[in-house]
Each structure stands twice: as structure tokens, then as C-alpha cells.
């Protein structure tokens, strides 16, 4: 796989972190020329559709590169995705939600369709190589395609004069649910299984298969978990409760299936990779536990009304589960080799992530208990964002010095 693909992914990750630093600096800035909501939309869209999408696709290309027949098409798809993502970032910074940013986001969806077809075709042509990873990858593609119903329905909802109704927000949550609970999580688990097989590391295939089907089937009613704030009725709440419980059990079954694999990985991979994997699994467990906790109405009301907890949950998902998992797989796959610079960068990134989550959830706890504000919270969040940015840049520099081409 050409090295430029990984370089672009690290560039995107750096830009996500840079916009994060930018937002954390707003409380201390005066007279900023770009409105905060513009930076927020640019940050969130580029994190999900720029860095996370390309980072996961880079791992896929690295694993399958010798088996991809149309390599020029793959490079063209990456180039198109990168160009559209950068255009989307600039458009959101320039105008927030507007004609340019909506056009770029729509183009990105069609690029996703193209890449999804390439992934499906490659997996289908290599069934023996894909093994147990294939169901997770194919399931992730279904979730990816289905997620686009959300953005496309927004135009219809707005045209009917319903933009200020709950239906508009419900369409956004539909998109987000199938993106990070479906597409990204299932895709990365599938790639992780492929990397385990490539290293000859055993795992409980039967338990893994059961975990997939439990999680995937529950994924669809699991959407209702995201809209409990809309008071959808007892039947829908019952479906959400059942889905949340089944998905939590599926995550535990996944952990149990990987129990033996973790011992082998401690011998096969560096301490930095193993620490990142443990943090990823911990973040996934906490994420699943929080979602299960939303089944209690009083707790759900507190969570939905507490901005710092919502932001903490989103960072837990996209930083702690998705981003860490991608970085772990970069290390497992040998995309870049762990040198001292990678150790410094990874340590700064891990520390920044933990500090960010600690401050956000402590602030949520303080709001719930009517306690005093966390002292130096804003300064601490700004420091955490700087640590994340510095860590990413150091890891990128490490790849530039030691990374492999294929």
C-alpha cells in the first residue's frame, strides 16, 4: 500500500486535533473571526468522515493490498475521498451548515458507496483469507449504507417545514448510530480479527460468531436507544431496553472470545500497542455500560441535559474506541514500527485522552450533585487537547521515520 495513504490519514487526524485545540481556546480568546459553531461542525464531521473513515480504510488496504486487483482504482478512491473531506472541512469552517458544506457532505456519501462496493468485492473474492472477519466487515457495510438514509431524509424533513421538530434530530441520530455503533465498530472488529489470523493468534471463533449475530441483530432496534429523549412510547422503550441488554451481552461475549488472544498479543506486540488495546476495550466496556444505564429514566434525563457528559460520551466513542483501535491496528499490522518517538507520542495521546474524559465526566458529576465547578477545568481541557495534538504529530513523525510501505 502506498505510504501517502497513511500520511494523509495522520494529516487528517492532526487537523481534527487542531480544530479541537481551536475550540478549547475559545473561552480564552477575544474577537475570533470564525464562529464557534463553524469550527464545531468542521471538527465533528471531519473526525467521523475524514480521519476515522480513512484510517479504517487504510488498515483494510494494508491487509488486502496484495489481493486487490484494481489497485489504481483503490488509489483513485482514496484520492477522491481525501479531496472531498478537505473540501468539506473548509466549507464548514467558512459557512457552517450551508450549500457548500451540504454539497461536500453529499459527495462524501457517494464516495462511501464506491468504497463500500470495493470492500465488499474484495472480501467476497477472498473468502478463505477473510474468515471470521468477513461477517463483521459485511455487516459494517450494511450499516454504512443504511446510515445515509439519515442525511438524505434531512432535506425532506426541512422541505416539509419540520426542521424544528424532533424528527430532524431523530434523523441525525439515525445517521450517527449506524455510523459509529454499526459501520466503524463492526468494521474495526472485523479488521482486528483478520490481523489476529495473520499473526496466527487464536481466538474463540464460536463465541465471536455468536457475539456478531447478537450485536448485529440488536443494532437495528438499538437505534431507539438514541431517541429515548423523544418519549417514543412503552413499546419502543421496550425494544430499546432489549437491544441495549443484548448488545451489552454481545460485548462481554466478544471480550471472552478474545481472552486467550490478549495473552498472545502481549508477547507479539509492543507495550504501547497492548496498552492502547486495553484502553480501547475499557472504553468499549464503559460505552456499553453507559448505554445500558440510559434505560433508567432518571439517569437518562440527567445525561441528556448535561452537555459535558454528552461530549464525554462522544469522545469516549470516537477517541477511546474508534481512534485508539485504528492506532492499535496500525501498530499490529506493522504499518509503522514502534520506536522511541512513537512511545512518546502514544503516551501523550493516551494521557490527553484520559485527562479529557476525566474532566468532562467529573464536570457532569458536579452538575448532577450541584457541587462547585471543577477548578481549572477549562485550562485542563485545553491542556488535554494540546496533548492529543502533540501525541498525534509525534506518532506521525514516527511513521515518517520508520513506517513500512506495504
User: What span, in angstroms and rounded, lies between the C-alpha atoms of 285 and 349?
Assistant: 20
Cα–Cα nearest to 223, from 237, 234, 209, 233: 237
Looking at residue 297, what is its pLDDT? 67
The larger pLDDT score, comparing residue 66 to residue 370, is at 66
Across the range 284-290, mean pLDDT stands at 90
C-alpha cell at 50: 475524514
Whether the per-residue pLDDT at 69 is higher than 90: the answer is no
Give the total residue count for the chain: 406
Confidence band (pLDDT; 50, 70, 90) for 406? very low
**Integer angstrom CA distances of residue 311 from 63, 306, 319:** 33, 9, 11
Q: What is the pTM of this model?
A: 0.93
Task: Concatenate the DSSP letters of all residues of 241-309 into one string.
Answer: HHHHHHHHHHHHHHHHHTHHHHHHHHHHS-HHHHHHHHHHHHHHHHHHHHHHHTTSHHHHHHHHT-HHH
Alpha carbon 196 to chain centroid, angstroms: 21
User: What span, in angstroms and rounded, lies between the C-alpha atoms of 381 and 363?
Assistant: 11
pLDDT mean across residues, the chain: 89
C-alpha cell at 275: 496498552
**Cβ burial, residue 376 (10 Å; 0-12/13-18/19+):** exposed
Task: Concatenate the DSSP letters of all residues of 328-396 into one string.
Answer: HHHHHHTSS---HHHHHHHHHHHHHHHHHHHHHHHHHHHHHTT-PPPTTHHHHHHHHHHHHHHHHHHHH
Confidence band (pLDDT; 50, 70, 90) for 231? confident
Radius of gyration (C-alpha) of the chain in whole angstroms = 20
Classify 98 as helix, strand or coil.
coil
Q: What is the pLDDT of residues 13-55, one digit of tens each?
A: 999 999 999 999 988 877 678 888 999 999 999 999 999 999 9
Interhelix angle 149-159/99-125, rounded to 10 degrees, is 150
Q: What is the DSSP letter of 140?
A: H
Across the range 355-380, mean pLDDT stands at 83
User: What span, in angstroms and rounded, lies between the C-alpha atoms of 218 and 325?
Assistant: 22
**Integer angstrom CA distances of residue 349 from 43, 105, 327, 343:** 18, 29, 11, 10
The larger pLDDT score, comparing residue 181 to residue 295, is at 181
C-alpha cell at 374: 471543577
Whether the per-residue pLDDT at 312 is higher than 80: the answer is yes
* Residue 336 backbone class (left: φ over 0; alpha: ψ -120 to 50; beta: rest): beta
Q: What is the pLDDT of residues 243-269, one digit of tens each?
A: 989 999 999 999 999 988 888 888 888
Whether the per-residue pLDDT at 303 is higher than 80: the answer is no
Classify 313 as helix, strand or coil.
helix
Whether the per-residue pLDDT at 358 is higher than 60: the answer is yes
Q: How many helices (H) and strands (E) does the chain have?
A: 19, 0
**Cβ burial, residue 298 (10 Å; 0-12/13-18/19+):** exposed
User: What span, in angstroms and rounded, lies between the C-alpha atoms of 332 and 192?
Assistant: 9
Count CA within 13 A, CB hemisphere, residue 39.
Answer: 16
Amino acid at each position: 500500500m502506498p505510504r501517502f495513504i497513511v500520511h494523509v490519514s495522520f494529516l487528517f487526524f492532526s487537523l481534527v486535533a487542531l480544530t479541537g485545540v481551536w475550540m478549547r481556546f475559545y473561552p480564552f480568546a477575544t474577537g475570533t473571526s470564525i464562529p464557534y459553531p463553524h469550527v464545531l461542525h468542521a471538527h465533528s464531521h471531519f473526525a467521523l468522515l475524514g480521519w476515522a473513515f480513512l484510517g479504517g480504510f487504510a488498515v483494510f488496504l494494508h491487509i488486502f493490498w496484495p489481493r486487490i486487483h484494481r489497485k489504481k482504482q483503490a488509489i483513485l478512491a482514496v484520492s477522491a475521498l481525501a479531496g472531498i473531506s478537505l473540501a468539506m472541512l473548509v466549507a464548514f469552517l467558512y459557512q457552517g451548515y450551508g450549500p457548500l458544506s451540504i454539497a461536500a457532505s453529499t459527495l462524501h456519501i457517494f464516495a462511501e458507496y464506491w468504497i463500500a462496493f470495493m470492500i465488499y468485492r474484495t472480501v467476497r473474492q477472498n473468502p478463505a483469507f477473510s474468515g471470521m472477519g468477513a461477517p463483521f466487515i459485511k455487516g459494517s457495510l450494511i450499516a454504512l449504507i443504511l446510515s445515509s438514509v439519515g442525511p438524505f431524509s434531512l432535506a425532506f424533513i426541512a422541505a416539509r417545514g419540520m426542521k424544528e421538530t424532533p424528527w430532524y434530530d431523530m434523523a441525525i441520530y439515525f445517521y450517527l448510530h449506524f455510523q459509529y455503533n454499526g459501520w466503524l465498530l463492526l468494521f474495526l472488529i472485523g479488521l482486528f480479527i483478520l490481523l489476529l489470523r495473520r499473526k496466527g493468534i487464536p481466538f474463540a471463533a464460536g463465541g465471536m460468531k455468536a457475539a456478531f449475530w447478537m450485536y448485529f441483530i440488536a443494532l437495528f432496534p438499538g437505534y431507539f436507544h438514541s431517541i429515548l429523549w423523544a418519549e417514543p412510547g412503552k413499546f419502543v422503550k421496550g425494544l430499546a431496553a432489549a437491544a441495549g441488554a443484548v448488545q451489552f451481552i454481545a460485548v462481554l461475549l466478544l471480550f471472552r472470545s478474545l481472552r486467550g488472544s490478549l495473552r498472545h498479543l502481549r508477547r507479539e506486540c509492543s507495550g504501547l500497542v497492548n496498552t492502547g488495546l486495553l484502553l480501547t476495550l475499557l472504553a468499549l466496556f464503559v460505552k456499553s455500560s453507559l448505554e445500558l444505564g440510559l434505560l433508567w429514566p432518571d439517569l437518562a434525563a440527567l445525561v441528556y441535559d448535561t452537555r459535558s457528559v454528552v461530549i464525554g460520551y462522544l469522545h469516549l466513542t470516537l477517541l477511546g474506541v474508534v481512534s485508539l483501535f485504528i492506532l492499535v491496528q496500525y501498530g499490529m499490522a506493522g504499518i509503522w514500527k514502534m520506536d522511541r518517538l512513537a512511545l512518546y507520542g502514544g503516551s501523550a495521546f493516551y494521557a490527553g485522552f484520559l485527562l479529557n474524559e476525566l474532566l468532562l465526566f467529573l464536570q457532569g458529576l458536579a452538575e448532577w450533585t450541584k457541587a462547585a465547578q471543577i477548578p481549572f477545568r477549562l485550562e485542563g481541557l485545553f491542556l488535554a487537547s494540546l496533548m492529543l495534538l502533540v501525541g498525534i504529530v509525534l506518532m506521525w513523525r514516527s511513521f515518517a521515520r520508520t513506517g513500512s510501505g506495504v
